[in-house]
Amino acid sequence: MRTPMLGFAKFFYCLSVMPELPEVETTRRGIEPYLVGQRVTRVIVRERRLRWPIPEDLDVRLSGQRIEAVERRAKYLLIKAEAGTLIAHLGMSGSLRLVDAELPHGKHEHVDIVLESGMALRYTDPRRFGALLWSNDPLSHTLLASLGPEPLGDEFDGDRLFRMSRGRSMAVKPFIMDNAVVVGVGNIYASEALFAAGIDPRRAVGTVSRARYLKLAEEIRRILACAIERGGTTLRDFVGGDGKPGYFQQELFVYGRGGEFCKNCGSTLRETRLGQRASVHCIRCQR
């Protein structure tokens, strides 16, 4: 029996820049109800040349399998079937949307995972920097095995940041963006968390006190949770299942606001470059 086609336009995930953890988690929550319990009838691969080639036998491995769960590890989506797991990464320009399986595909729509409901999970990636890989043990896969703890999990806290920072001289912003330290704290949310914690992103990690790391970890958790609740930041056209778009971008204090006034003190925000990325901070509020 086909599932009623209830407003597919409401489940389009269009990414303006590289998706960060909240956007990936928002995607997971959006597609999960339509995938779990469904059996895959076939997999249509129109272009295998992503960041890593899509396995030649993906259709054989996934077709006929019932999807048991849709989980996330860092920025990877784990679509778990009965006999293995599809590891999906959206790269810089990738997106997933649920469509009628009969809907004609566009130029950059590389893969359809067709479900018994008559829907298809369609993967789009103009730059082809994403990935769709198969694994029988995803958490041991080379892409996931060395990742640090989840920022919203029990294993991450300020004490971990303090311990790992001792004796190091790198700047604090690239430090908290290191996936071996904590996963999923990308450029946007690192900038916002450091502002909220009052820490200059250029400051050497070994000079930040334990008390300030406790505050920073608290702000990382708060801001990521808030972004997830609001549907993320880099989703231009996302509308969630409740019909409400993501609005976290309207709450940004520093990211992308170089040269503008600080919302806290009114001074001009300064833009610098850290680790090949633009970074904005307030010279008064952050030290």
* Residues tagged in the binding site annotation for DNA: 108, 127, 168
Nearest C-alpha neighbor of 87 from the set 73, 101, 99? 73
**Active site (annotated) includes residue 4:** no
Q: Angle at Cα 94 formed by Cα 46 and Cα 78, nearest 5°?
A: 90
Opening angle at CA 125, ends 246 and 64, nearest 5: 95
Q: DSSP letters along 164-207, please? A: HHTT--SBHHHHHT-TTTSSS--HHHHHHHHHHHT--TTSBGGG
Q: What are φ and ψ of residue 102, in 5° steps?
A: -90, -5
Of the residues 72, 75, 122, 212, only one is catalytic, namely 75
Among residues 42, 270, 277, 284, which one is catalytic?
A: 277
Active site residue 230: no
**Does the active-site annotation cover 10?**
no
Q: Which residues of 91-100 are buried (b: 16+ CB within 10 A; e: fewer)?
A: bebbbbbbbe
**Active-site hit among 20, 23, 109, 192:** 20
Joined together, the tokens standing for residue 220 give: 């990382």
Give the 3-state secondary structure of residue 26.
helix
User: 99 and 30 in contact (C-beta within 8 Å)?
Assistant: no
Instruction: Please report the DSSP string for 248-265 in residue order.
Output: GGGG-SSTT-TTSB-TTT
Say whether 19 is catalytic: yes
Annotated binding site: 108, 127, 168
Residues annotated as part of the active site? 19-20, 75, 277
